[in-house]
Amino acid sequence: MSLTLEQVKRIAHLARVEISDAEALTTQGHLNGIFQLIEQMQAVDTTGVEPMAHAQDVYQRLRDDAVTETDRRSAYQSVAPETEAGLYLVPKVIE
Amino acid sequence: MINKSLKELSQALAAGQISSVELSTLFLDRIERLNPTLNAFVTVDREKSLTMARAADARIAAGTAGPLTGIPIAQKDIFCAEGWTTTCGSKMLANFVSPYDATVIQKMHADAGLVSLGKTNMDEFAMGSSNETSFFGPVRNPWDTSRVPGGSSGGSAAAVAARLAPAATGTDTGGSIRQPAALCNLTGLKPTYGVVSRYGMIAFASSLDQGGPMAASAEDCALLLNTMVGFDERDSTSLDRPVEDYARDLDKPLNGLRIGLPKEFFGEGCDAEVMAAVRAAIAEYEKLGATTVEVSLPNSHLSVPAYYVIAPAEASSNLSRFDGVRYGYRAPDYGNLDDMYAKTRAQGFGAEVKRRILIGTYVLSHGYYDAYYLQAQRIRRLIANDFVEAFKSCDVIMGPTSPSTAFKLGEKAADPVQMYLSDIYTIAVNLAGLPGMSVPCGFVGGLPVGLQLIGNYFAEGQLLNVAHRYQQATDWHLRRPASVE
């Protein structure tokens, strides 16, 4: 498998990472080297093997539907790039 | 004083031979003097540390101190600590002052009374094996400052090796505690997945990430681990199990211990002199009463390929939170919202982090998910099953931690694949979720070599025992670099 330059740009777009043409070219070389390593997996027959998502067989715990956290909005928003009246500010999405 | 064990420091504090303020000052002064060369710490705040030290002294005076109250340690900058800049080695978080404590930090500060000396440098978002991907510049190995300390917990490793701190925290997703421990002559332990809370530990690959101690000896690691573990309802993968004292079995004799030697770890791919040091360590274990048995981990050669699908997949998801909205960096100039995201992430992340985000995005994308992500998860199962099979005939598995000693700065930085292969012996342990350690076992050309110990699930106590008995019989772990006078 080999990624084309167009694919690299498409992936960067999906990941919301701006990429210049020059960067895309370097990245293409690196990614194709890495995928060459990853391709070793394809030689293995894994028919019938249960995928392992986690080291331990744990289930999501349920907790009581009760308020346990205190209101720390101002502390948490103090680290945001831009806020106003308790809201996070971003460029206008809907005209 | 700077070379004393945690137990000795604890006794000195309890006996009033030294106060926590004096002890912390001693290490803060060393940091001030030696950190400009090593770049092991990215944040030091003397006043904050001394405030904690004064509180610890008050606890000691009041008789309410725990075993490690007043002992200063270094914190990997992946752990959120309230009021401390927490950068994770990234420009993205260069100005992020955490509004809350990670569970590990809370346990160490509030419960154990440990004093944090500062936050240690690391590969950006823990992605690296040399500490060269840090936005704050590389860390230098105290044994040879032209060489890397390993990564991603390279700052913690260099700090403890140069005795800028008696011990440190690290995290290990694919070898990030064990490999730098090996390269810097430290003892490091990655616990069983789920033993140490991940709450407030900035996420890289959530099914693999695990925090643990890095120190001069197994005994120090056991005492530090005691302060880090425990069930945490704020981490959905935290395991609810009885609390253990990890120091309880340190002195147990090793008679009858069965050491499994995976033939895959003793073949090609490892430096011959590193291998000789590892074999000498195993011979020492035989003198201590252990026996060896050959075992096989037939799928271990697939651990690096599977890891470089699973870890980037999880990372691409975890790091989607860094979008310039709620915290961290935001690009100064942008057009619409999409453009703000794309520019923020392009400018805020370094090259290695972006590479892994792109790999992860690709393997999770429509049409490739089955061939890559599911296939990697199936291979992960095969790798975990190999260990289950191996542990039927042995109690602990041993081999090299790293295929080479510390390499030169820049030596592998240009080729990601070469860098990835430096974790060839450590990654399978994370995929299986097992506990693993690195223990100093010799030197090659003046550079430290690490012996890797792999235990069965929840066998941390046994691993520490196995490491401790070796350290009672050898003195590799007591050697210090020339910079430590």
In percent, the amount of chain B with pLDDT more than 70 equals 100
Exposed/middle/buried for B56, CB within 10 Å: 0-12, 13-18, 19+? buried
Task: Choose, from B10, B116, B153, B176, the residue flagged as catalytic.
Answer: B176
DSSP letter at A64 equals: -
B309/A44 Cβ within 8 A: no
Instruction: State yes or no: is B98 an active-site residue.
Output: no
Instruction: Looking at the complex, report in whole angstroms how far the Cα of residue A49 sits from the nearest Cα belonging to chain B.
Output: 6
- pLDDT tens for B258-267 read 999 999 999 8
Instruction: State yes or no: is B176 an active-site residue.
Output: yes
Buried-exposed string B453-472: b where 16+ CB fall within 10 A, e elsewhere: bbbbbbbbbbbbbbbbbbbe
Pick B193's closest partner by Cβ from A14, A44, A56.
A56
- Which run of H or of E encompasses B193? none
pLDDT at B58: 98
B337/A31 Cβ within 8 A: no
A15/B361 Cβ within 8 A: yes
CB B81 within 8 A of CB B98: yes
Q: Taking the CA of residue B447 as centre, how many other CA atoms within 13 Å lie in the half-sphere pointing to its CB?
A: 22
A91/B305 Cβ within 8 A: no
Q: How far apart are CA B183 and CA B406, in angstroms?
A: 5
Pick A90's closest partner by Cβ from B194, B325, B380.
B325
DSSP letter at B3 equals: T
- pLDDT tens for B7-53 read 999 999 999 999 999 999 999 999 999 999 999 999 999 999 999 99
- What is the radius of gyration, based on Cα positions, of chain A? 22
pLDDT at B460: 98
Q: Which residue of A has its CA nearest to B82?
A: A75
List % helix, strand, coil for chain A (3-state, nearest 5): 40, 5, 55
Pick A34's closest partner by Cβ from B324, B361, B416.
B416
Strands, E, within B68-218: which ranges?
Answer: 72-76, 115-120, 167-172, 187-190, 210-215
Q: How far apart are CA A18 and CA A14, in angstroms?
A: 10
pLDDT at B471: 98
Pick B358's closest partner by Cβ from A27, A37, A78.
A27
Start-to-end CA distance of chain A, whole Å, equals: 43
Q: How far apart are CA B108 and CA B39, in angstroms?
A: 24
Q: How far apart are CA B400 and CA B441, in angstroms?
A: 10
Q: How far apart are CA B173 and CA B368, in angstroms?
A: 24
pLDDT at A55: 87
Region B414-420 average pLDDT: 92
A80/B327 Cβ within 8 A: yes
Region B71-92 average pLDDT: 98
> Pairing mode, if any, of strands B447-455 and B396-400?
antiparallel
Instruction: Looking at the complex, report in whole angstroms how far the Cα of residue A20 sits from the nearest Cα belonging to chain B.
Output: 10
pLDDT at B395: 98
pTM: 0.97
Identity of the amino acid at B364: L
A53/B207 Cβ within 8 A: yes
| pLDDT bucket at B483, cuts 50 / 70 / 90 | confident
Q: How far apart are CA B376 and CA B383, in angstroms?
A: 10
The ipTM value here is 0.96
Q: In 3-state terms, what secondary structure has residue A74?
A: helix
Start-to-end CA distance of chain B, whole Å, equals: 12
Q: How far apart are CA B315 and CA B460, in angstroms?
A: 27
A79/B377 Cβ within 8 A: no
Task: Choose, from B152, B197, B300, B316, the residue flagged as catalytic.
Answer: B152
Region B200-212 average pLDDT: 98
Token readout for B16 is: 């009033």
Region B214-226 average pLDDT: 98
Q: How far apart are CA B218 and CA B107, in angstroms?
A: 20
Q: Where are the domains of chain A?
A: 5-42
Q: Which CATH architecture has domain A5-42?
A: Orthogonal Bundle (1.10)
Pick B358's closest partner by Cβ from A31, A39, A91.
A31
The partner residues of B115 in beta bridges, in order of sequence, read B72
pLDDT at A65: 94
Task: Choose, from B19, B24, B76, B116, the residue flagged as catalytic.
Answer: B76
**Count of CB atoms within 10 A of residue B266's CB?**
17
- pLDDT tens for B111-167 read 999 999 999 999 999 999 999 999 999 999 999 999 999 999 999 999 999 999 999
What stretches in chain A show pLDDT beneath 50? none
A16/B341 Cβ within 8 A: yes
User: A90 to chain B: which residues are within 8 Å by CB?
Assistant: 325, 337, 340
Q: In 3-state terms, what secondary structure has residue B335?
A: coil
CB B35 within 8 A of CB B155: no
Is the pLDDT confidence value at B485 over 70?
no
CB B359 within 8 A of CB B308: yes
User: B384 to chain A: which residues are within 8 Å by CB?
Assistant: 52, 55
Q: Taking the CA of residue B432 as centre, how many other CA atoms within 13 Å lie in the half-sphere pointing to its CB?
A: 29
Q: Which residue of A has its CA nearest to B335?
A: A91
A18/B330 Cβ within 8 A: no
Identity of the amino acid at A18: E
B302/A49 Cβ within 8 A: no
CB B169 within 8 A of CB B190: no
A44/B382 Cβ within 8 A: yes
Pick A41's closest partner by Cβ from B99, B341, B379.
B379
Q: How far apart are CA B128 and CA B407, in angstroms?
A: 14
Per-chain mean pLDDT for chain B: 97
- pLDDT tens for B284-317 read 999 999 999 999 999 999 999 999 999 999 999 9
Strands, E, within B336-428: which ranges?
Answer: 396-400
Identity of the amino acid at B423: D
CB contacts < 8 A, A to B, total 168
Determine which of A9, A17, A25 to mutate to test the interface with B (most B C-beta atoms within 10 Å). A17
CB B91 within 8 A of CB B350: yes
User: B97 to chain A: which residues are within 8 Å by CB?
Assistant: 79
Region B210-226 average pLDDT: 98
Q: Which residue of B has its CA nearest to A89?
A: B325
In percent, the amount of chain B with pLDDT more than 90 equals 98
Q: In 3-state terms, what secondary structure has residue B141?
A: strand
- pLDDT tens for B265-285 read 998 899 999 999 999 999 999
CB B457 within 8 A of CB B387: no
Instruction: State yes or no: is B76 an active-site residue.
Output: yes
Region B440-446 average pLDDT: 98
pLDDT at B454: 98
CB B172 within 8 A of CB B178: yes
- Which of B138, B32, B48, B55 shows the shortest CA–CA distance to B89? B138
Instruction: Looking at the complex, report in whole angstroms how far the Cα of residue B443 sits from the nearest Cα belonging to chain A.
Output: 31
Instruction: Looking at the complex, report in whole angstroms how far the Cα of residue B303 sits from the nearest Cα belonging to chain A.
Output: 9
Region B193-202 average pLDDT: 98
The partner residues of A84 in beta bridges, in order of sequence, read A87
Token readout for B257 is: 């211990």
pLDDT at B137: 98
